[in-house]
Amino acid sequence: MSRVKLRLVICLLLLSTLSLRPGLTTASTPVTVIPAGTTLSAALNQLRSRDFTILFSDRLVTAELRIPQDATIDNPRDTALRILAKYGLTLRSLRPGLFVVTRLPVPESTTPEKPPYELETLTEIAIYASRYSSESPLTSTAQLERTDIENLAGLNEDVIRVTRTLPGTAGTPLSSKTHVRGGLDDEMLVRFDGIPQLSPFHFKDYGAILGSIEPVTIDTLDFFTGIFPVRHGDRLSAVMDIHPRRSDNGNHHEIGLSLLAAHAMSVGETEINDSTSRWLVAGRSSSAGWVARAADIDNVEIEFSDLLIRGEQIVDDWTLAAGLSILQDELKYQNDDSDKEREQSTAGYRDNTLWLKATRDTTSDHRLALAFAKFDSKADRRGEWSGERISIGQVVENRQTDGYYFDLAWQKAGAWSIGTEILNVSTRYDHSIRANFDPSLSAAFNRAPKLDRSTLINA
């Protein structure tokens, strides 16, 4: 081998040896750093890649959480675990490449329990409860007259909202329903003229924004909370027992108009064949449509109306009464301002209640009472949505409710009561929904691109 070739081989060996020595490199690799002060949510979004996806909730990863110091991204998953651990969070794998942020499990306490012989001995147990005397009947928590309700601010259109002024109740400004002593908003029984009201609200599926009973149609209102007489035992939280208005000082007629509704009412009594006859007629119709048209609002129509007719006849020892209550609601919403999307929604409600009552009082303070009521309720709702190349859907819902009520009671005032009560309600629920979604959108949410579902329930 010539000297030139030998020198060339030696040079190549030296170069290869230098390139393999640790700490020596010919080019520097760029390093990505998340600067201190970056929000935790922004840092997690920066760590996302095609093969590494992180899902998290803004309730868990709040906007106040920030990176306290610079974080070097060497491995996205390890870096995410390091910055999450500072706030008691970690990653849970849903499937390869997909993780969700969760809280770190709380370690179980290692403090040993005391042996049984070291436990403190109970020396006294005190139990406190309300006390009710059995010598007198239970009285209502509150009793309000019509004049009391009319003097309360903001309640001149809705008698059911009067409960907001009483202790132990809570509610929202947009709904007429009330929570009593922590119960659900459907656990309060409402009676009018002794007849249970299935759902005395306008626009039931839209927050029940208004009650269907006008304050001008009532005489007194008894409100029971917690413990109430067994004759009202159909709810858990409270009972509102409303007595219809009677003529106080002769016949009374009135008409009125407000921003919410126009109403008319007539109450009085007369003598027919030497027997007393009484009547109560009241009607109300919304004026919201006039206000909307005056404000140049054309895509929303809100209409509601209610009618109450009650007659009473006294024949010897019997008091006979008949009543009819009708409630109707119409809601229409349409948005065609944009060519790219379209929204339509309509809802209609109709509730009818017919009742008959017969009561006989004797000279010995005994009373025999019979009552029968027929319920008829119907609700129709339709919705439609069309978003350009994103989703197209339609929802149709029909509900039909029928029922009857029967009550028979024999009682002595302030002493005892015996009888029977029957309430039977049946409902037919027909619901269908159809929708088409953009394929890429449905794949992102792991859903089928087409939805076609129908439900028919008879209960």
pLDDT number for residue 379:
93
pLDDT number for residue 20:
39
Q: Who's near 142: CB < 8 A, 6+ residues apart?
A: 166, 222, 223
Q: Who's near 55: CB < 8 A, 6+ residues apart?
A: 94, 98, 99, 100, 101
Q: Who's near 274: CB < 8 A, 6+ residues apart?
A: none
Neighbours of 70 (CB within 10 A): 11
HSE toward the beta carbon, residue 459, CA cutoff 13 A: 6
Is residue 158 within 8 A of residue 166, CB to CB? The reply is no
How far apart, in whole angstroms, are the C-alpha atoms of residue 412 and residue 137?
11
Give the DSSP letter string of 107-141: PPP-PPPPPGGGSPPP-----------TTS----S
Is residue 424 within 8 A of residue 401, CB to CB? The reply is no
**One-letter identity of residue 422:** I
Residue 368's Cα: distance from chain center in Å?
40
pLDDT number for residue 23:
37
Say what the pTM is. Answer: 0.66
Q: What CATH code would you report for 30-103?
A: 3.55.50.30
**Regions of the chain short of the pLDDT cut 70:** 1-31, 50, 106-121, 128-141, 153-156, 226-227, 233, 336-341, 387-390
Sequence ranges of the domains in the chain: 30-103, 142-243
Q: Who's near 298: CB < 8 A, 6+ residues apart?
A: 292
pLDDT number for residue 255:
94
Same fold? 30-103, 142-243: no
How far apart, in whole angstroms, are the C-alpha atoms of residue 117 and residue 415?
54
pLDDT number for residue 28:
38
142-243: in CATH 2.170.130.10: yes
For residue 101, the cross-strand partners are: 91
HSE toward the beta carbon, residue 280, CA cutoff 13 A: 21
**One-letter identity of residue 396:** V
